[in-house]
């Protein structure tokens, strides 16, 4: 299994496996994919496939040594090598991301957000939103690996260039526009409208065809 | 091609095709997938595959009749059968979704948001955020097809039940928790943390392995 081929669907389940294993009282022994599947109400073939991305400690008829599997999951999820990010744009979306609690399950940390809107800056109380003029200075100290673009489409490329100058290695782009980056930078484009459209199209599916009533994006 | 097998990646490109076709001056003739691909800087095999989900009007060596392709794209994207949604939770995320401009490219309309937080309600100026106590009354009038859950995890199931009572046919769930629904309701779970984790994992990929420098989610 090449871990870079992992799907978002599998990634969604990994923190659940980790939570479950952390909750087990006796961690000396082994645990089977079947037991994990039963506890989490999942298919055991799925669990086996998911864990194959993460660990090669599984043994036939024994399962996984619990302590090793916990370490492998933590290491895969980056618990020992926390990736940090900064957000540009502290409007509704930027603030939603800044305050989103789900990132810590993946060992991710949002360090700060930047904006040039005086109203946003003056109303700010959390201490984590700064004027964009201070971005280079603050980033040279915090050294974030990831830059998150949460500005309107027309400002996205300019913000992307600024993030690149600040040394980020990857961009998570929420602006509904294509951005150009230099060769060694990874870009992940997020398109929330396409997700809602996916739901909308499945909604028009005739009832007898609706095999999946749950879609995970 | 079964249109329900369409991927989010294809869905992302459909509005681009439509925009491009709308911009063509002479709409009487035919257009080839190759021309569309060249204009949008895409691979022509990809364009052919994408359009196969949407239209069967393509002819060998001629391409697609432009006017028919526009109609097929508009119909696929739901322009003639606009789906409407309401949001529950008007915190940062709810407001970000309420003000997001990308939905109209897919013929989607966010009608209103609901919250029980007096501070949010008193500061509201857009006229589209209402007290959750008015939800049944307002929904019985607006008849939204989609309910969007943008509340904290612990409130998600209760909100989901309320949306179901209001008659929505699908739920778009942003709360990082599994929700139970009755049989004929479609659920799409959104997990932004898993998306950021995907980026984080690819960031640790050795440089020589980084074939994809762009990921579309």
Would the CB atoms of B213 and A186 count as touching at under 8 Å?
yes
Task: Give A-chain residues touching B101 at CB under 8 angstroms.
Answer: 176
Distance between CA atoms of residues B70 and B185, nearest Å: 31
Band the pLDDT of A133: cuts 50, 70, 90.
very high
Distance between CA atoms of residues B150 and B91, nearest Å: 8
Give the mean pLDDT of chain A: 87
Q: Is residue B159 within 8 Å of residue B89, measured between CB atoms?
A: yes
Min Cα–Cα distance to chain A from B50, Å: 14
Q: What is the mean pLDDT of residues A128-157?
A: 94
Give the distance, in angstroms, between the CA of residue B153 and the centroid of all CA atoms in the same chain. 22
Q: pTM here?
A: 0.76
Min Cα–Cα distance to chain A from B61, Å: 31
pLDDT greater than 90 at residue A149: yes
DSSP code of B59?
B
Would the CB atoms of B217 and A91 count as touching at under 8 Å?
no
pLDDT lower than 50: segments of chain B: none
pLDDT greater than 70 at residue A1: no
State pLDDT tens for residues A164-207.
999 998 999 998 788 888 878 888 888 787 888 877 777 776 65
Q: What is the mean pLDDT of residues A79-86?
A: 82
Cβ contacts from A onto B, under 8 A: 213
For β-strands B170-173 and A170-173, DSSP reports them as unpaired
Q: What would the DSSP string read from start to end of A187-212? A: EEE--HHHHHHHHHHHHTS-GGG---
pLDDT of residue B206: 59
pLDDT greater than 80 at residue A35: yes
Closest residue of chain A to B103, computed from CA coordinates: A193
Structure tokens at B69: 């392709």
- Give me the domains of chain B, ranges plus CATH numbers: 3-76 (1.10.10.10), 83-194 (3.40.50.720)
Place of tokens 């009282």: A25
Q: Is residue B93 within 8 Å of residue A91, measured between CB atoms?
A: no
Q: A18: which residues sit within 8 A by CB, 6+ positions away?
A: A70, A73, A74, A77, A105
Task: Give B-chain residues touching A208 at CB under 8 angstroms.
Answer: none
């Amino acid at each position: 299994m090449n871990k870079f081929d992992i799907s978002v669907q599998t990634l969604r389940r990994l923190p659940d496996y980790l939570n479950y294993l952390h909750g087990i009282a006796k961690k000396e022994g082994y645990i089977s994919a079947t037991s994990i599947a039963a506890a989490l109400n999942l298919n055991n073939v799925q669990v086996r496939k998911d864990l194959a991305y993460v660990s090669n400690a599984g043994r036939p008829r024994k399962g996984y040594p619990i302590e090793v599997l916990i370490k492998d999951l933590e290491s895969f999820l980056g618990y020992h090598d926390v990736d940090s990010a900064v957000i540009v744009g502290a409007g509704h979306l930027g603030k939603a991301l800044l305050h989103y609690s789900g990132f810590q399950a993946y060992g991710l940390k949002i360090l700060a957000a930047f904006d040039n809107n005086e109203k946003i800056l003056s109303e700010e109380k959390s201490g984590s939103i700064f004027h964009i003029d201070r971005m280079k200075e603050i980033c040279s100290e915090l050294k974030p690996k990831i830059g998150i673009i949460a500005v309107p489409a027309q400002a996205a490329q300019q913000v992307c260039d600024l993030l690149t100058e600040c040394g980020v290695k990857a961009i998570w782009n929420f602006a509904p526009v294509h951005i150009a980056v230099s060769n060694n930078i990874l870009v992940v484009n997020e398109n929330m409208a396409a997700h809602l459209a996916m739901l909308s199209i499945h909604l028009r599916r005739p009832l007898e065809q609706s095999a999946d009533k749950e879609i995970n994006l």
